[in-house]
Amino acid sequence: MNLIEVRNINKYFQQPAKMQVLSDVSFDIEKGKLISITGKSGSGKSTLLYLLSTMDTDFEGSIRINQDEMKGKSNPWLADFRNHHIGFVFQFHYLLPEFTVLKNVMLPALKLAKYSREETEHHAIDLLKLLGVEDQAHKRASLLSGGQQQRVAIARALINEPLIIMGDEPTGNLDSYNSAVVFDLFKKLSAEKGQTVLMVTHDEDIAGRSDQTIHLVDGKIDHAN
Amino acid sequence: MKIFTNIQLAATIALTHMRSRLKQTIIATVGVIFGITMFVFMVSMIQGINDFLRNIAFEQSPHLRLYNEIQAASGTILDKVKSQAINIVDHSKPKNVSLALKDGKQVIQLLQDDPRVLAVSGSIKAQVFYRLGSSTINGTINGIVFENENALFNLQAKLLEGSFHELATTPNSIVMGVNLAKRLNVKTGDQLLLTTEKGNNFYVTVAGIFKTGMSDIDKQESYASLNTVQRFMEVPAAHITDIKIKLHDMEQAPAFCQELQTKYGFQGSDWRQDNATIVDGDSFRNFMVYGVSITILLVAGFGTFNILTMMIYEKMKDIAILKAMGFSNGDIRRIFLIQAIIIGTIGALLGLVFGFLATYGISQMPYKSDVMITMDHFPVNYSIVYYISGFSFGIITTTLAGYLPSRKASRLDPITILRG
Ligand SMILES: Nc1ncnc2c1ncn2[C@@H]1O[C@H](COP(=O)(O)OP(=O)(O)OP(=O)(O)O)[C@@H](O)[C@H]1O
Ligand SMILES: [Mg+2]
């Protein structure tokens, strides 16, 4: 069963001049797989990921996730969908600087309001442990190093046990040891919990070890790969 | 349930934002506090003065008066005699009407029994000259029955020296306005000469001096007993020119006045007509108070608008991250609206407290007025209405001021921000 079905996507930017960033992109992704999106800088990887994250709604074509068509949905519907089903790790910005690390991780779950505050807190601490930053839990997020922040952001993306975990170079700021920890965690989540991981990466090694690779060249899918 | 947790979450985020920008938040709140304080203070003070001026004027004016007036004759005798012809009469003289109220004493009797009437007093009013040495001053003398007149106007409280009761016991005695006494340079016990319109002269003794605070009265009026004035005017004891009435409910005055005029055929006038300038002045002063206060509140609202707009520019990344987590545009709008409402509520509440304290402070300030003898402190009005409207104004302006920035925040596109 396909979790994600992308059909004939075209994406344009109007500023400063009209320019096509993605042309006729189509692919399927199965549930419980780990997928890498690769390509040169500027090839449109982030743009594609933002479309899949449902935050960018300005495109031609069709994106179906978990049987639901994303095109034409209202803002509250998409927000709720993201809250339930998508955990996102950004390329550059990670945390809300004024909140503590723990609160940052808890926020999506508090928004979801499925579990009690205590359960959520436990769950958050467990995730921080898993990523090796539990000792930072009560610090203000702005005080952490880049790598620490990125790991907290990954913990936050996992807290609601989303269907899909998306990351724009989620290990870009990590040393090789922590990179391996995160990658192994992702592998485990997809294998054991059936969560689908979708990540942009420049790392040949990581791309090679994933279940599927989507390689972009100038906004088109390179099928040779 | 879900909406409740959403609001709660928005509130915690709003509070965290405000704590991180504590100084600006406080400045915006102080702006609102200042606006509401000024509003409450000014309204209370100006309304206090209004009330005070009204009281003075209304104490001096009955709820309604009945009198006769010399009027131009309507139609001419010629019209009556030759009703078919076209008659032209140039410059017809006013009709010679007696100013006396016909059957005045009986009317007073009837009015005293009317359940709507609180007090009624009949009097005679006449133009006289007060003379002493070389000074001659034109003025008015009121012949009254002191007990009745006192029930309407509380004359006793306005007496500076002497006594009103002597009017009834000592013949040819008068109690005169303080400024009139000053102009004539007389005091209690002194004698002076009174000349009536007909040219008769009487020696009178000053039995007392009063002060109402209304300079028109104080500089030319005096009181004597009803009999004394009737004797001066050479009119019979039934002759009175004014009936003054105080009602239980002053709002009934215009209707009641109309009724009495048609019933007895007298001229009449009520407190609204007699004090038109004060009634008008009231609304003008109120207009000014509200104008100034709303301006202050607008400035306070602008402060709130500024801080929230600034906050939004600073928190753009946060907004984008929150949206990515699953916060909808409505949730984001709520976060900033809540900030505005918190600033508005705290500002308005403290504004009410400070407004009350300022009002209380000025009401305790001793204030001696030359004109107004009955005033020793600054008059204020503590009506709850000002506090309610001040609070509502505060909340409404800050919420409106927060609405535009919060809408702007909710419409920010997360992708453009997150690209960095
Ligand atoms: N808002 C925008 N307006 C105009 N052009 C844009 C905008 N965002 C991206 N682009 C352009 O679209 C193209 C794809 O950008 P994108 O960020 O998707 O690249 P990427 O593959 O993620 O690159 P990198 O590996 O450096 O992150 C680039 O040429 C970029 O300049
Ligand atoms: Mg990118």
DSSP letter for each residue of B59-94: HHS-SEEEE----PPSS-HHHHHSTTS-----SPPP
DSSP-assigned letter for residue B158: G
The answer to whether the beta carbons of residues A37 and A48 sit under 8 Å apart is: yes
- A21: Cβ below 6 Å to ligand 1? yes
Q: Residue B262 — pLDDT band, cuts 50, 70, 90?
A: confident
* Residue A5 resides in a domain: no
What value does the mean pLDDT of chain B take? 86
Whether A7 maps to a domain, the answer reads no
In the predicted model, is pLDDT for residue A100 greater than 90?
A: yes
Determine, yes or no, domain membership for A20. Answer: no
A55·B415 Cβ contact <8 A: yes
CA distance to partner chain B, nearest, from residue A33 (Å): 22
The confidence band for B85, taking pLDDT boundaries of 50, 70 and 90, is: confident
Which ligand 1 atom lies nearest to the CA of residue A16?
Answer: 4
Residue A66 has pLDDT above 90, yes or no: yes
Domain boundaries of chain B, sorted by first residue: 2-58+278-419, 64-271
In order of B175, B332, B395, B399, the CA distances from B338 in angstroms are 67, 10, 11, 9
Q: What is the pLDDT of residues A176-212, one digit of tens each?
A: 998 998 999 999 999 999 999 999 999 888 899 999 9
- Residue A210: per-residue pLDDT: 93
> What's residue A56's pLDDT?
92
Highest mean pLDDT (candidates B77-81, B276-280, B413-417): B413-417
Residue B182: is its pLDDT beyond 70?
A: yes
* C-alpha–C-alpha distance, residues B168 and B191, integer Å: 17
Question: What pLDDT, on a 0 to 100 scale, did the predictor assign at position B419?
Answer: 77
Q: Write the residue in B317, B326, B329 that is nearest to A111 by C-beta.
A: B326
pLDDT of residue B102: 80
Rounded-to-integer distance, Cα B111 and Cα B367, Å: 41
Decide whether any atom of ligand 1 lies within 6 Å of the A92 Cβ.
no
pLDDT score at A224: 64
- Pick the more confident residue, B39 or B70: B39
Instruction: Please tell me which residue of chain B has the smallest CA distance to A85.
Output: B326
Q: Tell whether A56 is within 8 A of chain B (Cβ).
A: yes
**CA-wise closest residue to B100 among B226, B224, B204:** B226
Please report the pLDDT score of residue A157 as a whole number: 95
How would residue B103 be classed by pLDDT, with cut points 50, 70 and 90?
confident
The lowest-confidence range among A35-39, A109-113, B76-80 is B76-80
| B328:A90 CB<8 A | no
DSSP code at position A219: T
Give pLDDT, residue B386: 87
Higher pLDDT among residues A103 and B262, named by residue: A103
**What atom in ligand 1 is closest to the CA of residue A216?**
21
Whether residue A46 and residue B330 make contact (CB cut-off 8 A), yes or no, is no
Which protein residue's CA is at the shortest distance from atom 12 of ligand 1? Answer: A21
A191 belongs to a structural domain? yes
CA–centroid distance, residue B149 to ligand 2 (Å): 95
> Binning pLDDT at 50, 70 and 90, where does residue B97 land?
low
Checking if the pLDDT of B293 tops 80, the result is no
B205 neighbors B228 (Cβ within 8 angstroms): no
Q: What is the mean pLDDT of residues B385-395?
A: 88
H helix or E strand, kind and range, residue A12: strand A2-13
User: Is A92 within 8 Å of B420 (Cβ atoms)?
Assistant: yes
Q: Cβ contacts of residue A22 below 8 Å, gap of 6+?
A: A9, A10, A11, A44, A47, A48, A51, A59, A219, A220
Burial of B164 from C-beta contacts in 10 A (0-12 / 13-18 / 19+): buried
User: Within an 8 Å CB–CB cutoff, is residue A211 touching chain B?
Assistant: no
Highest mean pLDDT out of A101-105, A176-180, B243-247? A101-105
User: Closest Cα to atom 9, ligand 1: which residue?
Assistant: A47
In total, how many domains does chain A have? 1
Whether residue B224 is predicted with pLDDT greater than 60 in this model: the reply is yes
Do residues B275 and B62 lie in contact, with contact meaning Cβ atoms separated by under 8 Å? no
Residue B370 predicted with pLDDT over 70: no
DSSP codes, A151-203: HHHHHHHHTT--SEEEEESTTTTS-HHHHHHHHHHHHHHHHHS--EEEEE---
When pLDDT is averaged across residues B377-400 and rounded to a whole number, the result is 88
pTM: 0.74
A interface test, pick of B317, B325, B416 with most A CB neighbours within 10 Å:
B325
Average pLDDT for A91-102:
88
The residues near A176 (Cβ < 8 Å, ≥ 6 apart) are: none
| Residue B247: CA count within 13 A, CB half-sphere | 15
**Cβ under 8 Å to B: A residues 70-99:** 75-76, 79-84, 86, 88, 90-99
CATH number at residue A86: 3.40.50.300
Average pLDDT over residues A5-18: 92
Q: What is the pLDDT of residue B180?
A: 92
Q: Is residue A66 part of a domain?
A: no
The alpha carbon of B123 is separated from its chain's Cα centroid by a whole number of angstroms, namely: 28
* Residue A99 forms part of a structural domain: yes
Nearest residue to B393 via CA among B342, B338, B335, B345: B345
A180 touches chain B (CB under 8 A): no
Query: Does residue B20 sit at the A interface (CB-CB below 8 Å)?
Result: yes
The stretch A7-19 carries a mean pLDDT of 92
Question: A94: which chain B residues are within 8 Å (Cβ-Cβ)?
Answer: 321
| B16 vs A84, A99, A108: nearest CB | A99
Task: Calculate how far, in angstroms, residue B331's C-alpha sits from the geometric centre of ligand 2.
Answer: 28
CA of B297 to the centre of ligand 2 (A): 48
CA-wise closest residue to A130 among A197, A198, A181, A172: A181
The sign one gets for the Cα dihedral B62, B64, B66, B69 is: positive
Question: Band of the pLDDT at A118, cuts 50, 70, 90?
Answer: very high
Ligand 1 within 6 A of CB of A47 = yes
Considering only residues A79 and B278, tell me which one the structure prediction assigns the higher pLDDT. A79
Question: What's the CA-to-centroid distance between A151 and ligand 1, angstroms?
Answer: 24
| In a domain? residue A142 | yes
Alpha-carbon distance B401 to B95, whole Å? 67
Q: Where are the alpha helices (DSSP H) in chain A?
A: 45-52, 75-85, 101-112, 117-130, 146-158, 176-192, 204-209
Ramachandran bin of B417, using left for φ above 0, alpha for ψ from -120 to 50, beta for the remaining angles:
alpha
Mean pLDDT across the stretch B355-365? 91
pLDDT at B280 over 80: no
The alpha-carbon gap from A34 to the nearest alpha carbon of chain B, in Å, equals 21
Own/partner contacts of B11-15, CB < 8 Å, gap of 24 or more, are B11/B338, B13/B322, B13/B335, B14/B335, B14/B336, B14/B338, B14/B339, B14/B342, B15/B342
Calculate mean pLDDT across residues B226-248. 89
**Ligand 1 center to A65 CA (angstroms):** 24
- Which pLDDT score, from 0 to 100, does residue B94 have? 66
Q: What is the pLDDT of residue B95?
A: 64
Kindly state the tokens that stand for A13.
Answer: 């930017």
Q: The complex's ipTM?
A: 0.93
Range of the domain at A159: 32-58+71-224
Q: How far apart are CA A116 and CA A126, in angstroms?
A: 16
Average pLDDT value for residue range B1-14: 86
Cβ distance B6 to A111 less than 8 Å, yes or no, reads: yes
Q: How far is B300 from chain A (nearest CA, A)?
A: 27
For residue B415, give the ligand nearest its CA.
Answer: 1
CA of B253 to the centre of ligand 1 (A): 82
Region of residue B59 (phi > 0: left; psi between -120 and 50: alpha; otherwise: beta): alpha
DSSP label of A43: S
Give the rounded distance of the alpha carbon of A121 from its chain centre: 22
Q: Per the CB < 8 Å rule, is B324 touching A110?
A: no
The mean pLDDT value for B126-146 works out to: 91
Burial (CB count <10 Å: 0-12, 13-18, 19+), residue A41: exposed
Look at residue A119 in the predicted model and tell me its pLDDT: 95
Q: Which of B120-124, B150-154, B350-354 has the highest mean pLDDT?
A: B350-354
Closest by Cα among A75, A55, A70, A88 to A5: A70
Give the H/E segment covering residue B243: strand B242-247
Which tokens hold the place of A191? 């294998």
Does ligand 1 come within 6 angstroms of the Cβ of A201? no
A53 assigned to some structural domain: yes
Cβ within 8 Å, pair B321-A95: yes
Is any Cβ of chain A less than 8 angstroms from the Cβ of B414? Answer: yes
Separation in Å, CA B176 to CA B130, B139, B140, B155: 11, 10, 10, 12
pLDDT above 70 as % of chain B: 95
CA distances from A13 to A17, A18, A47, B50, B388 (A): 8, 6, 10, 67, 53
